[in-house]
Structure 1
Amino acid sequence: MSTTIEYVRFEATDPAELTAQRDGLVALLRERYGADFLGAYLARSQDGSLMDFLLWSSPEAAARAAREMPGEPAAAGFFGLIGEVHEMRHAEVLHSARP
């Protein structure tokens, strides 16, 4: 297994509301995927687009969540606020460092 980053760059109709919905999505990911879900970061780029970085234990876990979550009724509040998706990728982590 290799740690995988799921990267999504997108627009949001209401970034403040999307951010408010974020805790619920993260709780759902923890509940549904357990130890396969390693963490998440939401960021805003200088151009105003949002970037979501989700950390997964494996590419299989990332692919499974990418298939399942957009249609999950419990996550509809979060996904309903996402506008145009510019890019979505999965990438293998080659190196990481923590303070």
Structure 2
Amino acid sequence: MSTTIEYVRFESTDPTELAAHRDGLVSLLRERYGADFLGAHLARSEDGSFLDFLLWTSPEAAARAAREMPGDPGAAGFFGLIGEVHDMRHAEVLHSTQV
């Protein structure tokens, strides 16, 4: 098993609503994927686009969530606020440090 980062860069016209729906999405991910879901960070770039970093226990867990979540009714509030997706990829974590 390889810890995996899911990276998504996208547009949204309503950052306040996007952030408001984020807790619901994270709760749904915890409920649905349990220990396979390790955490998430949502950020805003200097160019105004958004970056979503999700941490998974494996590439299989990340791929499963990427397939299932966009169409899940429980996640519609968050995904409905996403406009153009510029990039989405999964990457194996080679090294990690927490301070």
1:1-99 → structure 2 map (5 Å cutoff): 1-99=1-99
TM-score, structure 2 length as denominator?
A: 0.99
Secondary structure of 1:35 counterpart? helix
Q: CA RMSD in A?
A: 0.4
Distance 1:15 1:9 in 2: 14
Distance 2:29 2:12 in 1: 20
Q: Which runs of 5+ in 1 are unaligned?
A: none
Distance 1:15 1:67 in 2: 24
* Structure 1 moving runs of 4+ over 3 Å: none
Deviations 1:11-67 (A, max 9, x none): 012111000100000000000000000000000000000000000000000000000
Task: State the Cα distance separating 1:92 from its structure 2 match.
Answer: 0.1
The number of residues matched between the two structures is: 99
Distance 1:14 1:41 in 2: 17
Q: Percent identity?
A: 84
Deviations 1:69-97 (A, max 9, x none): 00000100000000000000000000000
Q: Report the residue type matching 2:43 in the other structure.
A: A
Distance 1:90 1:49 in 2: 19
Greater share of strand:
1
